[in-house]
Structure formats: structure tokens, C-alpha cells
Amino acid sequence: MPGWVPGHLRRLVAGAARAHGLRPALLAALLRAESGFAPRAVSPAGARGIAQLMPATSRGLGVADPFDPAQAVPASARLLAGHVRAFGSVSLALAAYNAGPGAVRRYGGVPPYRETEAYVVRVLALAGQGAAAADGVVLLPLEGPLA
């Protein structure tokens, strides 16, 4: 677990990640990129909580309170793991988490949205798995168990 994960969240993040076949560092990186680990965060688009779940997504995942990390962190792990299974790569799963699975399907890969491209690179870098090339973004499927 990276040292930048707040101590009070370490067990929750590790347990949720392992329960869904994810590396804890990947889930931690997603949460850091989404909210900086702020459980009360609200985006201009209306995403809420530590995992920045949209209200409809929260409902679909059975999250009654997206501001409660005990509910939001396992839900975000379940959502990300589902995207990994659906798209076959961590990069595409992260893009789906950020831009929505419909956008990933529509573009047949990471959507050409500057925010989404930067998000994928940032999360992979935080998790110790990413790279950026001089001529643009390098998004490679990762080998091994769900990152």
C-alpha cells in the first residue's frame, strides 16, 4: 500500500481491492485521483464522495450514502473490477470509470477526451504502472491479475 494512503483508510482500501481481485495500490490511486481521499467531496458534475460516484451509479451499486467510505470504497472496487472484466484492460477500465463505459465502447478505446486521457495516465502512474510518451499518451493493457 502506498505511503500516501491515509492510515484510517488503509484496511478498507486493501480489503475492498482484494475482495474484487484488484491490487490495493490501483484502487488507492483511483481514490486519490478522484477525491484526494476526501469523503465529502462533490464535483461540479454532481459526483459524490471519496469514490466520486454519480447518484445513478451509487443507486445501481446499492450505495445508500456515497459520502460513507465504508460503502463507497467497496462499491468503487466492484465497479472498477467489472470494467476490467468487460474491457480486458486496466487502462480501459479506468477510462470507463472516468468517462463512462458507453464512451469507451463508442470510441473503441480510451475516449479522446483530454481529461480522461490524463486521468488514466495519472492513476496508472500513482499505482506505479503507467508511462507517458513524448508524443502523447501510452495506454497499454497490463499483464497479470487485474493489475
DSSP string, 43-87: -TT--BTTTTB-HHHHHHHT-S-TT-HHHHHHHHHHHHHHHHHHH
The predicted pLDDT at position 129 comes to 66
- For residues 86-101, give the mean pLDDT: 96
pLDDT tens digits, one per residue of 6-18: 999 999 999 999 9
Pick from 21, 17, 18: which is nearest to 30 by CA?
17
pLDDT tens digits, one per residue of 29-51: 999 999 999 999 999 999 999 99
- For residues 123-129, give the mean pLDDT: 90
Residue 63 CB burial class (10 angstroms; 0-12, 13-18, ≥19): buried
Residue 102 CB coordination number (10 Å) = 10
Q: Which residue among 34, 115, 117, 143 is the active-site one?
A: 34
The predicted pLDDT at position 1 comes to 85
Distance CA 147, CA 145 (A): 5
Specify the amino acid at residue 16.
A
Distance CA 46, CA 36 (A): 16
Among 18-32, 41-55, 75-89, 127-141, the range scoring the smallest mean pLDDT is 127-141
Among 34-43, 82-91, 122-131, the range scoring the smallest mean pLDDT is 122-131
Position with higher pLDDT, 147 vs 9: 9
The reply to whether the predicted model has a pTM over 0.85 is yes
Residue 93 has pLDDT above 80, yes or no: yes
Annotated active-site residue 34? The verdict is yes
Return the CATH fold of 7-138: Lysozyme (1.10.530)
The predicted pLDDT at position 12 comes to 98
